[in-house]
Amino acid sequence: MIIDHLRLRRFATVVLEHLGTETAKAAETADHLVEANLKGHDSHGVGMIPNYVGSALRGGLQVNAEAQVVKDQGAVLLIDGGFGFGQVVGRQATDLGIEKARALGIACVGSRNNHHLGRIGSYAEHCVAAGMVSIHFVNVVGHPPFVSMWGGRDKRLQTNPFCCGVPTESEPLILDMATSAIALGKVRVASMKGEPVPEGSLFDHLGRPTQDPNAISEGGSLGPFGQHKGSGLALMCELLGGGLAGEWTMQDIDQQKEVTVNHMLMLILDPNVFGGAEGFAREVNGMQAYARSAAPAEGFERVQLPGDPERTSRVSRLAEGIPIDAQSWQAICQAAEKAGMSASEIIALTQA
């Protein structure tokens, strides 16, 4: 099906309200999810609703939790999300960090115990809109690992995202990426379509490279991006996000309770306190143009910079609607019913 973003936002808000979520929090979470769909990241869009509904019904996701400041010391803030919607408590932590960075030039924010934060780029976009540079190291815990370290046969991590946002005179640069070779959602799609996954993404139960998308369910693993380099960055996300900012890392198997939790370390920097925002802007804008001016390699139309593919997707999906595959839509509707919506209410909100 193809659905208009406004209709999808309304529907997602109502599903979350049925879980007992206050309207403002439901709407903020729904906006974040639909924005991920608009930007082409369906793995972090409304397809997460079944996860969220299951988590709330099991008592893991605390739908109305607010971020609480645990420590406020100089440039450091430690904030506990209380397992609330990451989209709400993570945003509250980001707002507090921006405020501190405005006052001190830098804020180092530990944002711990967030239920799934969704698309990490949204927090960087929020910082960039306030004129700040931001860097995010995030770990993912609450489920058994399915990503292997480079050279390892056993699974040790999840898709630990890394993100960095830089303001420019035009569109911001937002590097926002999982540290696994590809997203788990992409493996699921390849498996459903019976297609191979890109080379170097998956390993079988003996640690041998494979393009068979079913390898994970047969004891294999998702590999890190960029071989040993991605593996190292994923580990740093685990340590800085989970160990420094957060309360636990993947090694603590007693904490794997089928509830997706993100711990995030954020550095928020005001360009004014370094060499001056003007000089920084000159270098950023000049470098951006220089990078874009490179002649495209064979098979490419142009050089794209971080954030470009998301903007392209957003323009086309705003105009043409958001495609949702039948299997995902069925799972979303089943979750909506579990949350307490009737079939007729779902139809009225999505098809009227």
> Nearest-CA neighbor of 225 among 181, 183, 160, 176?
181
Which of 14, 142 has the CB closer to ligand NAD? 142
d(CA 308, CA 50): 29
Say whether residue 177 binds ligand NAD (CB under 6 A).
yes
Closest to ligand NAD by CB, 173 or 349: 173
Minimum distance, C-beta of residue 230 to ligand NAD, in the bound complex (Å): 10
Q: What is the residue type of 99?
A: E
48, 120, 189, 269: residue in contact with ligand NAD (rule CB under 6 A)? 120
Q: Does 307 bind ligand NAD (CB under 6 A)?
A: yes
For every residue of 140-175, DSSP letters joined together read EESS---EEPTT-SSEEE---EEEEEE--SSSPEEE
Out of 8, 183, 189, 222, the residue judged to bind ligand NAD by CB under 6 A: 183
Element at 20 (helix H, strand E): none
Candidates 14, 33, 78, 140: give the one binding ligand NAD (CB under 6 A). Answer: 140
Using CB under 6 A as the criterion, what x/- string covers residues 253-292 for binding ligand NAD? ---------x------------------------------
Q: Is 310 in the site for ligand NAD (CB under 6 A)?
A: yes
Binding mask 31-50 for ligand NAD (x = CB under 6 A): ----------x-xx------
CB of 126 to ligand NAD, least distance (A): 13
Choose among 118, 122, 153, 73: nearest CA to 262. Answer: 118
Q: Is 110 in the site for ligand NAD (CB under 6 A)?
A: no
118 binds ligand NAD (CB under 6 A): yes
Query: Among 16-24, 27-35, 155-163, 343-351, which window interacts with ligand NAD (CB under 6 A)?
Result: 155-163
Distance (Å, whole) CA 148 – CA 210: 14
What is the token pair recorded at 52? Answer: 């969220």
Contact assessment for residue 113 and residue 68, using Cβ atoms and an 8 Å cutoff: no
Q: In the bound complex, what is the minimum distance in angstroms from residue 46's beta carbon to ligand NAD?
A: 14
Classify the phi-psi angles of 220: left when phi > 0, otherwise alpha if psi is within -120 to 50, otherwise beta: beta
The answer to whether 169 and 278 have CB atoms below 8 angstroms apart is: no
Q: Which residues neighbour 252 within 8 Å (Cβ) at sequence distance 6 or greater?
A: 141
121 binds ligand NAD (CB under 6 A): yes
**Is 224 one of the binding residues for ligand NAD (CB under 6 A)?**
no
Quick one: 178 or 245, whose CB is closer to ligand NAD? Answer: 178
CA 55 distance to own-chain centroid:
17
Extract the tokens encoding 163.
């993100």
Residue of the chain from 20, 198, 309, 323 that contacts ligand NAD (CB under 6 A) = 309
Q: Say how far apart CA 199 and CA 207 lie, in whole Å.
A: 14
* Using rule CB under 6 A, residue 161 touches ligand NAD: yes
Other residues' Cβ atoms within 10 Å of the Cβ of residue 325: 14
* Sites of contact with ligand NAD (CB under 6 A): 41, 43-44, 116-121, 140, 159, 161, 163, 174-178, 183, 262, 304, 306-307, 309-310
